[in-house]
């Protein structure tokens, strides 16, 4: 095998809670993660020339160790003493800096592809253990599907699947600093925390409506006051057929959950007509 390709799915957070700030500066989280059918694609090819050669379809992306894909390939090449080179083509479709784990899913998929291409024989769990050294979301992005994420994101457990639905993605053109959001998050006795356990109970019952009524993201308390456009997008989705709408991660991407494809397509056009530019996309869940 001299070449492999792999799709790297985006993720949304069906629920996101932050429990506390740890002494090391990281935050203890409790999140429901869900993969969706919006993909980047990586193509890896062995080369006789040693080293890592990364190319992307976006000129502004780094193609050196500042890119998680490069670092994930290097981690495995260094550990296993791989002498051959690898050419990596990254075709981005997931919006950058969108709260959808685009960088993490690319790195995770690169590790999975490297494992196949060079026949390293590593299990998913072994790859997850290595991946967390590069980023807290990478283990989940190796696992994919529906999962409960705890700790700093590295403790993963399987939970009932999210009920079948359609997902409308709307990502406004501005960026949100994750560092700003977590730095300004207030956690005290007055903080209202999402009911993650209640969401999981609705998922056990395959109750999509109940789940959507409970969906919450504690980071909205910081991001929405700074960027009220996010609230406008949520409102647009809810007024046009969404069972629920939420910001993903630290933002600015908003998603809506629909039980009907036509409703999702109608809401997509409504979001597209908002007075600020949005990337909009209708999809479903990636199992």
Q: Which residues are marked as active site?
A: 11, 137
DSSP notation for the chain: --EEEEEEEEEEEEEEEEEEE-TTS-EEEEEEEEEEEEEEEEEEEEESS-SEEEEES-TTS--STTSHHHHHHHHHHHHHT--SEEEEEEE--SPTTSSS-HHHHHHHHHHHHHHHHTT----HHHHHHHHTTT-TTHHHHHH-SEEEEEETTTEEEE-PPPPS-EEEEEEESS---HHHHHHT---STTPPPP-HHHHHHHHHTT-HHHHHHH--BTTHHHHHHH-THHHHHHHHHHHTT-SEEEE-TTSS-EEEEES-HHHHHHHHHHHHTSSS-EEEEEEEB--
């Amino acid at each position: 095998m001299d070449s492999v390709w792999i799709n790297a799915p985006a993720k949304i957070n069906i629920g996101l809670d932050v429990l506390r700030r740890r002494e090391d500066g990281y935050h203890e989280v409790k999140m429901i993660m869900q993969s969706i059918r919006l993909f980047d694609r990586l193509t890896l090819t062995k080369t006789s020339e040693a080293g890592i050669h990364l190319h992307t379809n976006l000129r502004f992306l780094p193609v050196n160790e500042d890119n998680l894909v490069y670092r994930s390939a290097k981690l495995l090449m260094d550990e296993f003493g791989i002498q051959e080179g690898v050419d990596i083509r990254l075709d981005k479709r997931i919006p950058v800096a969108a709260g959808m784990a685009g960088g993490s899913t690319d790195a995770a998929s690169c590790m999975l592809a490297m494992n196949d291409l060079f026949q390293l024989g590593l299990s998913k769990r072994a790859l997850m253990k290595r991946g967390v050294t590069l980023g807290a979301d990478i283990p989940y992005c190796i696992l994919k599907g529906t999962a409960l994420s705890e700790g700093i994101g590295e403790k993963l457990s399987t939970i009932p699947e999210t009920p079948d639905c359609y997902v409308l993605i709307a990502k406004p053109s501005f960026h949100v600093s994750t560092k700003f959001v977590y730095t300004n998050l207030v956690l005290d006795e007055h903080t209202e925390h999402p009911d993650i356990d209640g969401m999981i109970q609705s998922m056990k019952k395959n109750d999509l409506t109940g789940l959507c009524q409970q969906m919450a993201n504690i980071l909205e308390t910081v991001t929405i006051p700074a960027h009220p456009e996010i609230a406008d997008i949520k409102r647009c989705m809810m007024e046009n057929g969404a069972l629920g709408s939420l910001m993903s991660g630290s933002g600015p991407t908003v998603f809506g959950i629909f039980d009907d494809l036509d409703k999702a397509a109608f809401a997509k056009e409504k979001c597209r007509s908002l007075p600020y530019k949005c990337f909009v996309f209708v999809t479903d869940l990636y199992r």
